[in-house]
Amino acid sequence: MNFRRQRQEEASVNLTPLIDVVFLLLIFFMVSTTFTRETQLKLDLPEAVSGEQVENRDQQQIELTISASGDIAINDKALIAPGVDTLKTALQRESAGDLSLPLIITADAQTPHQSVIMAMDAAGQLGFTRLRLTTTQAEAGEGQ
């Protein structure tokens, strides 16, 4: 009797379905992931009791002053209409494109919170990153 040897098929793994599944998972995660970037202004807020004095007064800086009624002045030049667009235009003019300049916001204690936030938002939209809020030195025993 003459038996024929059966050919043994080579064991192989078909990678095409595996690649399809991985590709579909990749697409699923890319579509379902939200890429939100929280926008924040990083501020170095001085505390009223233990605030630090700023020594570099001769360094170029922009000073934004907000009165109790919400009127805004930049480097002692009053703005005609204290709106976001006017403020952004004035900040661009005063900075001459140098966004690394420190921006000092001096607001009256009775200034509406919205005016200060509007000024900070306008500075953030332009790209200013070095913001400083001024305060007066409070007594250590006061308010405790």
Per-residue pLDDT of 37-52, as tens digits, reads 544 333 333 445 555 5
Neighbour count for residue 90 (Cβ, 10 Å): 22
103-107 and 62-66 as β-strands: parallel, antiparallel, unpaired?
parallel
**Residue 144 CB contacts under 8 Å (≥ 6 apart), including other chains:** none
**In terms of DSSP H, where are the helices of the chain?**
16-32, 84-95, 113-126
CA nearest 87: which of 133, 109, 48, 118? Answer: 118
- Cα angle 60, 66, 72; round to 5: 80
Task: Answer yes or no: pTM beyond 0.85.
Answer: no
Each domain of the chain, given as residue ranges in start order, spans 62-133
Query: Given pLDDT bands bounded at 50, 70 and 90, which one contains residue 20?
Result: very high
pLDDT, greater one: 2 or 49: 2
CATH no. of 62-133: 3.30.420.270
Q: What is the pLDDT of residues 75-99, one digit of tens each?
A: 878 888 778 888 888 888 888 888 8
Q: Which residues contact 134 (CB under 8 A, 6 or more apart)?
A: 46, 104, 105, 106
